[in-house]
Chain A
Amino acid sequence: QVQLQESGPGLVKPSETLSLTCTVSGGSISTFYWSWIRQPPGKGLEWIGYIFHSGSANYNPSLKSRVTMSVDTSKNQFSLRLSSVTAADTAVYFCARGSGNASGSWGQGILVTVSS
C-alpha cells in the first residue's frame, strides 16, 4: 500500500518561497501522476498542480505564475515551490497520487502558515 508524507517548513515569511516535499513509500513514483492540493483553514480544496515522473507538469492557471513542481525518481520524492507567498497562501498542503481512477492515496497534510 503506497504511503505519502509531506515535509517542509510550517512557517514561511511573506514574499518568500514555500517549499514542500512529498516522499512516496510502498510504490514507485515512476507510474501515475503526483499532485499537490491545498486547503485554507475552514475552506474547500484547491488543486495546485500535478507532475509525471517524466517531469511534465500541469498547473492551476490561477497559481501557474508562482508554482514550480519537480520530481526526484532516485529518492521517490516530488516537490512543490510556491513563490511570493502572502497570507492567502496559508493552508494545509496535501500531496496525492493520481491515476485514471482519480486520487486514492493522500498524505496526511502539512499546515503552512505565512506570517512575519
Chain B
Amino acid sequence: DIVMTQSPDSLAVSLGERATINCKSSQSLLDSSNSKNFLAWYQQKPGQPPKLLIYWASTRESGVPDRFSGSGSGTDFTLTISSLQAEDVAVYYCQQYYGSLFFGGGTKVEIK
C-alpha cells in the first residue's frame, strides 16, 4: 500500500502570509507514460465534504483561487497558500490516486 504522510499536523499563519503544507508518498506517484503525478489536494471545512483544489499535483480545479498552488513530483509534494485569507481556515488533505486512493492524515490551518 502507498502511505501518505502530511506535515505539519497543524499550522497557524497570519492573514496575508504564506502557508505551506507538505505531503510525502511512500512510492513514486509519477506515471512515466504521461509524466503526470497522481496527487490531489482537498480542502475540508466543518460539516462539509472535501473540496478538490489541485489535481495532477499542480493543476488547479476550475474556480479555485490562484493563491492556491501545488508543486512537487515523485514522492514529495507541497500545497502553498500564497496569502492566507480568513476563508482558508480548514483542514487540507493530500490524496494519491495511483491505483488506490489513500489520503494523508490532514493539516489543520488556522489564523495566528
Contact = CB atoms under 8 A, between A and B. Distances in A.
Contacts of B48: 108
B1 A101 contact: no
Interface of B: prevailing SS: loop
- Could you say which of B51, B52, B61, B106 has the most chain A C-beta atoms within 10 Å of its C-beta? B52
Q: How many A residues touch the partner, as a band?
A: 20 to 34
B95 A102 contact: yes
Interface in B8-46: 40, 42, 44
A47 B100 CA distance: 8
Interface residues of B, number: 25
B49 interface: yes
Given A44-B93, A61-B1, A98-B97, A104 B52 contact: yes
Given A50-B101, A60-B100, A104-B61, A45 B52 contact: no
